[in-house]
Amino acid sequence: MKFEEMDIWKRSAWLSAELYKHFSQTKDYGFRDQITRSGLSIPSNITEGSERGSDKDFARFLQYAKGSCGELRTQGYIGMDLNYYPTRNWKTLDTGNTRIIRHAR
C-alpha cells in the first residue's frame, strides 16, 4: 500500500500542517521550530518506513513515529501552560495524535 493511502499517514500529515499553520506567527522560534519538527517527523517516518519495502523496517519506523508523537504531546502540554495554544484547540490535535499512537502499536 502506498503511504498516501494510509489513514495513519493522512492523520499525521494533517496534524503536521495544523501545527505549522498555528505556530507560523509565533515569536518563540525555538519552541515553534521544535514543535513543528516533532509534528513533521511523524508522517515523515511513516513514509520512510513504508518506502523501505520490508515489514521489519516499516515496524521500526512506526516506532520512531510513535516516539515523535510522545515528544509532540509533551511540547503541547508545555505550549498550553505558556498560553501558546488554547486548551480546547490542543485537545483536538492531541486526540488526533493519540489515534496515531494507537495505530502505530
As a whole number, the mean pLDDT across the chain is: 87
Query: Mean of the pLDDT values across residues 32-46?
Result: 96
- Calculate the CA dihedral of residues 40, 45, 50, 52 and round it to 10 degrees: 130
pLDDT digit string, tens, across residues 62-91:
999 999 999 998 998 899 889 887 776 677
Q: How many whole angstroms separate alpha carbon 68 and alpha carbon 98?
A: 11
Query: What's the predicted TM-score (pTM) here?
Result: 0.86
Q: 3-103 belongs to which CATH class?
A: mainly alpha
Residue ranges per domain, the chain?
A: 3-103
pLDDT at 9 exceeding the cut of 60: yes
